[in-house]
Amino acid sequence: MKLSSRINWGIIALMFFAFIALSVAELRLLQSNTSTLISSETEKALASYTKAANATPASSQTKSMMLSAVAETLAARPSIASVNVTDEEGNVSVSHESASTDPIPSWFSLVDPAPAFKKRIALPNNDSYLVVTSDKHDTYSKFTAIVIKNATMFMALSFIVYLLVTILTKSALRPINDVIRKLNDMGGHNFTSPDASTSAKDFESLSITVNNLAATLASKFDDLTRQAELFKKEASKDALTGLSNRGAFERHMRALLNENATSQEKELIVVRLAQLASINTKLGMVPGDNYVKAITNILMEETKNNSSIRFVFRLSGGDFALISEPMEKPTRDLVLTNISTQCASVTPLRDGTKATWIGVTRFTGSMTMQQVMESVDSALIASMKTKSGWQLASDIAHVHSNSQWRERLNHIVSQQYADIMIQPVMDIEKNMPAYYETSGRFKDKKTNDVIPMSQLIPASERLDLIPEVDKLVTNIVFKKMEVTSQQVAINLSITSIANREFREWLVKELTQRENLCSKLFFEIEDAALIQQREYTELLCRHLMGLGCRITIEHFGDNFASLSGLRVIQPQFVKLSGRLTQGIHTNKDNQLFVSSLISIAKNLNIKVIAEMVETEAESIALTKLGVEHQQGYYFAKPALWNVY
């Protein structure tokens, strides 16, 4: 109910009680006046009779006639109902009543329950009495007129008060409405609307406060907008090389492959760094990063020297993509030879192995993204068997890639074996691992070489075998956990989370292994909270209900995942590695990470920073309040031996 309505109803209630009290008071005054009037009229009549009787001696009959005349005269007066002459025993000798015979309403009897007023006066020289009774109907008539008058007056007064209260309330609430309008504008991210103002001293501090708040939020919002634009721009770029990343590549390809695209051919060239994993393992991440930067410079230089190549992307750790106009075979061979030779010249490993594998495919707007990627993947696989190190997809069977990958993956699943690597997540305050993150490493059945995850995961997704691979890794981790007290984490892919059979299998296995749940974490990508939110929340509730704990990875990559984070309430969030690398020198990342930490701590969630590789990064993150860290600075992934 509005404030003005509340005030008006309060005033109306108060005036109603005043109306009742005034009416009752006027009724009492009316009763008093009636009794006074009757007493006065009776005494006057008696005086008149006494004077007449004394002036003219008369017989008893004459006196009786005189009394009858006096009684009749009195009975004709207003407010008198009856006039009687009675003796000592109450016998009536003379009786006169007023002409009014209208009944009195029952409600008035409730208002005025007292009997009619009677005035009894002894007659001179006689044993008789003059009894005068008031007329209650006359009192009722006068009281009704008073009530109507009061009601009319109070209704008019109530209306006037209602108007005054409404006007005054609106005037009084105008500053508050201005403040509400200002707050609503702020809620709509409009901080430049007119300031709230007031002429009333009582609301001056409120207006000043909200205007100052708007100015402060405007400054903060500008900073956040700038940060959002920066990160939106950065989200399309690879943090290490500055090249457009896989997301930008996919958006660009979708634009080329949409139904309105022209049928003009393009070429997709994918360069895979065959030695990157070995460099990272043997020499460390820093030499690996330097190698990737050198490759980037080579590819960018090639685009400057060749007008056919238009775009360069970094798809993943060791995969680069170039989009070009169709080239003639001699020109293409020259470009690929140049790329291969220069990439080999900058590798820090000199073990005689091939530095790069290059796959090339042609595509048109009528093809799908999956068709293009399968085609170039086929070329990449085939390039590993060529002397030159590159292969054109049109020169091999299209089914080669899928059939070969299915054979390799089926072999991995059937063997029910994988090497499990672990890397600690350090509790900085305690200087000890909070838990260990696990990951699977799989070997090719023919070469016994480790299959790069950058190749295995896309192939597994394409062939719908990701849930089977996740089952394999999870089973092996469960078996190892039976003989160790270490707390470990298992990564769950988005594809597996969306798979009902996998979810049911996982919950069933954990139900049978309740002793493991208290030392088990599950790491889930924050993208799962967007792409498969319903299934992710459902699975997390099951896992946490069994006593397992949850870590959300890549926190900060997707703002839309925050609402899902509130619902799940995981124990940890792991900051995206692109935010932590080089954070000691990146002020923008420091501000953004600080905001993310504040959000997490407000939700009572602990924060982990991944990919921490230097002491400077670790110190900077610790100062920002990151209490858990993971990366090469603390330990590289190592084989988990528990038997």
Cβ–Cβ < 8 Å for 151, 145: no
Burial of 593 (0-12, 13-18, 19+ CB in 10 A): buried
State pLDDT tens for residues 7-22: 778 878 888 888 888 8
Give the DSSP letter string of 239-258: TTT-SB-HHHHHHHHHHHHS
Report residue 222 as tokens: 């500008």
The per-residue pLDDT for 269 is 94
pTM of the predicted structure, to 2 decimals: 0.48
Distance CA 71, CA 67 (A): 6
The per-residue pLDDT for 599 is 86
Q: Which of 245, 312, 288 shows the shortest CA–CA distance to 578?
A: 245
The per-residue pLDDT for 400 is 43
Those residues of the chain that have pLDDT short of 70 are 1, 3-4, 56-60, 99-101, 125-127, 186-189, 191-192, 196-204, 221, 224-235, 259-263, 396-404, 452-455, 458-459, 461-462, 558-561, 643
The per-residue pLDDT for 399 is 40
Distance CA 223, CA 230 (A): 10
The per-residue pLDDT for 123 is 80
Distance CA 432, CA 357 (A): 41
3-class DSSP state for residue 312?
A: strand
The per-residue pLDDT for 522 is 96
The per-residue pLDDT for 545 is 94
Cβ–Cβ < 8 Å for 425, 608: yes
